[in-house]
Amino acid sequence: MAKSDAPEQKTVSKSAYRQPVTPEGLKAIEAGTLTWLDDEMYNNLNTGVLEQYLEEKNLEES
């Protein structure tokens, strides 16, 4: 068997994790009006900005 000298190309699959924040979600976060049942909460679920906002909000409220 002969070995091929061509390097194997590996692809990285894309993930839904870490999506960009939406403008409406960012406005609601900055205004402090984002609630658990808002559409913007779910539209921004996989953003680092939302995770940080929720962590800070939970620390303030506890």
> Per residue in 5-37, pLDDT tens?
656 777 766 666 677 888 998 899 889 888 888
For residue 12, the 8-state DSSP code is P
Q: Please list, in sequence order, all residues whose beta carbon lies within 8 angstroms of the beta carbon of residue 48, skipping any fewer than 6 positions away.
A: 18
50 pLDDT higher than 80: yes
What confidence category does residue 59 fall into, taking pLDDT thresholds of 50, 70 and 90?
very high
Residue identified by tokens 């620390």 is 59
| Token pair for 48 | 């680092």
The structure's pTM equals 0.58
**Dist CA 28 CA 39 (whole Å):** 11
Extents of the domains making up the chain: 23-61
Give 16's DSSP letter.
S
